[in-house]
């Protein structure tokens, strides 16, 4: 599933070493609106999958999250466990002069304040 996220995500450095991984917080499913979109998408996917056309080519019952997962809370929990990005988390930080309030790196990718 792919849907727009309403809260802002963020990425921060974890140390001054370029070898250490950054801390990336995508803020997935933290807003009520995003949760409603995810639930609506899952319900629609189940409706489409239940059509005779798709059932005729299916090789078994619903695998994920499974037909036994029915409540909105359980569906959201399953989505949270399996949600991942297909995009590389890049270009999330502004490249500007250090005086700019949203600037993170300069024009040669040096991190401000490090």
CA distance 34 to 63: 23
Q: How far apart, in Å, are the Cα atoms of 48 and each of 7, 37, 51, 55?
A: 29, 16, 6, 9
Q: 102: Cβ–Cβ under 8 A, 6 or more apart, which residues?
A: 94, 96
Catalytic residues: 88
The predicted-structure confidence for 11-68, as pLDDT tens digits, reads as follows 888 999 989 998 888 888 989 999 999 999 999 999 999 999 999 999 989 999 999 9
8 vs 63 pLDDT, higher one: 63
pLDDT for 4 equals 57
Res. 81 pLDDT band, cuts 50 70 90: very high
| pLDDT of 3 strictly over 70 | no
Res. 113 pLDDT band, cuts 50 70 90: confident
DSSP annotation of 12 reads E
Is this prediction's pTM over 0.75? no
- Extents of the domains making up the chain: 10-105
């Amino acid at each position: 599933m792919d849907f727009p996220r309403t809260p802002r995500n963020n990425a921060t450095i974890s140390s001054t070493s370029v070898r250490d991984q950054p801390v990336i917080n995508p803020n997935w499913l933290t807003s009520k609106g995003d949760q409603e979109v995810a639930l609506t998408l899952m319900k629609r996917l189940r409706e489409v999958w239940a059509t005779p056309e798709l059932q005729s080519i299916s090789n078994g019952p619903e695998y994920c999250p499974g037909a036994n997962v029915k409540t909105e809370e359980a569906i959201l929990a399953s989505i949270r466990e399996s949600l991942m990005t297909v995009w590389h988390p890049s270009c999330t930080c502004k490249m500007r002069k250090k005086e700019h309030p949203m600037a993170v790196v300069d024009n040669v990718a040096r991190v401000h304040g490090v």
